[in-house]
Amino acid sequence: MTEKILILDSGSQVTQLIGRRLRELGVYCEIHPSGKIPPIDGSVRGIILSGSPCSVYDQGAPVIDFSLFKGKLPVLGICYGAQLLAHCFGGKVGPSGSREYGRARLSIEDPGLLFEGIPSSTQVWMSHGDTILSLPEGASVLASTADVRNAAFRFQGEPTYAVQFHPEVYHTTEGTAMLRNFAFRICGCKGDWTPASFIESSVASIREQVGDGKVILGLSGGVDSTVAAVLLNKAIGHNLTCIFVNNGLLRKNEFTDVLASYKDMGLNVIGADVPENFLSALKGVTDPEAKRKTIGRLFIETFDCYARKIEGAGFLAQGTIYPDVIESAGVAGASKIKSHHNVGGLPEKMNLKIVEPLRMLFKDEVRRVGRALGIKEELIGRHPFPGPSLGVRIIGEVTPERVRILQDADDVFIRGLRAYDCTGMGLRSASDPSVEARNLYEAIWQAGVILLPVKSVGVMGDDRTYEYPVVLRAVVSTDGMTADWVHLPYDFLAKVSNDIINKVRGVNRVVYDISSKPPSTIEWE
């Protein structure tokens, strides 16, 4: 049984960072809303309570049923978590007299296990409106700052600790060391969570969940669904059937190339080659949301049609990853809740049980698992690609001719990025920052071409032309939430522009998008 730490989320914007730090230490953890504590079985080694935008006195502020674990398991309350511990056990929480945001110096009086090996004066990051004015009976101060007397405390006689600052954020210099002390010294974790151990335990749990049942999975060519498929294939072999849909909006040659790689990997995959269905449904549709909906609906219809042919299919597998789960679940007090297409939708219609082997992994962990499964780097290192494919990169109406123009221009751009040697330029790989990027494609997080609906004048030979401009887009990002445009070398831009205009019929002008997100977005629609 994989040992784990539960993080009970009360809606802080940085809860995911607690998870990240623990995973980096090799400790498996799960984030759950603080109002929905999962069964606490023998695998749970400790509990961390996150911060929250709420005050403990707010109406509807998150509450936690401490009777389930306090005194029985190690606990670390962070910020709101610390205030809630003080408030619920007889301490006093109130508005702070002075501003408690930003850097502060922590003076450690009683290092104990939590601050073992940490300098007695160290920088921490504070971010709270309320403060703990007095501690519960039986609790003692471990550390203070100039403005916050009870910056860290513990309950005597039990492994319950609390800190009002944020150890998970980068600005808390010794934050990782504090979390390491909590996980290893206080909770007794071993820190042996690795991609290989994840694969071993996932294969076992997939077999347990699915038994001899049949599973279907929609492959997109992207990293998540590919890793999910290979993991399931390892667990249940030919009881897994994958469906890869050609919607006519994939990159040039992508359907045949990726289908061939899937077959090479030994996957039982059906290619649903139905571009005409999508292109005819998109005729005359120009509104971006209407395009997305049309493509989404057609995808479900296609998938449904092929899946029904698989006799006895009882399970639907999805490549849902952790950020999708967290964004879709939502937590009381959290300020933004987003729905995601992977979670919900298909199953109600099809009456299948869901299998989501990657639902507890972050993107970079999915890639590490994929590498450990032996998936080729060309697939693991692929740039993210939007679900509606090139449909959202053809501004205006999607026609077969305009798809052809965009596929050709995109092909020149992506091949050019792959061919541009950048070894020795000191660029890191976007999909694995621990290694150097060998070419521009690897250094970029996402790249593509956008086809505009306007035409402009040009001259070719002795003739005047009146054709489309295309936009090149290349960004670096960590999660797509924010992004910076990439400073592509001028010689590369010059060559790629020349190649596109010379080789792609229908294009006479190339521009480069130099907008960051925010305020722009990565895609144009």
Active site residues: 79, 166, 168
Q: Which is nearer to ligand XMP, 120 or 521 (CB)?
A: 521
H or E element at residue 123: strand 121-127
DSSP 238-283: GGEEEEEEE-S-SPTTHHHHHHHHHHHTT--EEEEE-HHHHHHHTT
Instruction: Specify burial of residue 209 (Cβ count, 10 A radius: 0-12, 13-18, 19+).
Output: middle
Q: Which is nearer to ligand XMP, 321 or 522 (CB)?
A: 522
Q: CB of residue 350 vs ligand XMP: minimum separation in angstroms?
A: 20
Q: CB of residue 368 vs ligand XMP: minimum separation in angstroms?
A: 20
Count of residues making up the chain:
525
Q: Which is nearer to ligand XMP, 21 or 291 (CB)?
A: 291
Residue nearest to ligand XMP according to CB distances in the complex: 387
The alpha carbon of residue 56 and the mean position of all alpha carbons in its chain are separated, in whole angstroms, by 30
Q: CB of residue 229 vs ligand XMP: minimum separation in angstroms?
A: 18
- Cβ 142 vs Cβ 182: under 8 Å: no
Q: CB of residue 483 vs ligand XMP: minimum separation in angstroms?
A: 7
Q: Write the CA distances from 371 to 303, 309, 321, 386, 433, integer angstroms.
A: 28, 32, 16, 23, 14
Cis peptide, bond prior to residue 519, ω within 30 of zero? yes
Asked whether the CA dihedral 393, 397, 400, 404 is positive or negative, the reply is: negative
Q: Which is nearer to ligand XMP, 371 or 517 (CB)?
A: 517
Q: Write the CA distances from 2 to 180, 373, 513, integer angstroms.
A: 18, 19, 46
Q: Which is nearer to ligand XMP, 476 or 501 (CB)?
A: 476
Cis peptide, bond prior to residue 357, ω within 30 of zero? no
Q: Shortest CA distance to 280 belongs to which of 397, 360, 171, 371?
A: 397
Q: Which is nearer to ligand XMP, 208 or 289 (CB)?
A: 289
DSSP 23-49: HHTT--EEEEETTSPPP--TTEEEEEE
Q: CB of residue 356 vs ligand XMP: minimum separation in angstroms?
A: 16
What is the C-alpha separation between 465 and 458, in angstroms, rounded?
A: 5
Site residues (CB under 6 A) for ligand XMP? 292, 384, 386-388, 392, 446, 480, 517, 521-523
Q: CB of residue 455 vs ligand XMP: minimum separation in angstroms?
A: 25
H or E element at residue 82: helix 80-88
Q: Which is nearer to ligand XMP, 232 or 522 (CB)?
A: 522
